[in-house]
Amino acid sequence: MRMEIPAGGDLTVTPPELHVLAVDDSIVDRKVIERLLRISSCKVTTVESGTRALQYLGLDGDKGASNLKDLKVNLIVTDYSMPGLTGYDLLKKIKESSAFREVPVVIMSSENILPRIEECLKEGAEEFLLKPVKLADVKRIKQLIMRNEAEECKTLRSLSNKRKLVEDNIDTSSSSSSSHDDSSVKDTQTSKRMKSESENLSSLL
The amino acid at 137 = D
Burial label, 75 (beta-carbon count in 10 A; 0-12, 13-18, 19+): buried
| Dihedral class, residue 169 (left if φ above 0, else alpha if ψ from -120 to 50, else beta) | alpha
DSSP, collapsed to helix, strand or coil, labels residue 21 as strand
Q: What is the arithmetic mean of pLDDT over 96-108?
A: 94
* Beta bridge pairs of residue 79: 108
Distances (CA, A) of 195 to 115, 189, 200, 201: 94, 10, 9, 10
Confidence of residue 55 (pLDDT cuts 50, 70, 90): very high
Rounded to the nearest integer, the mean pLDDT of the chain is 81
Dist. CA 10–CA 27, nearest whole Å: 46
pTM: 0.68
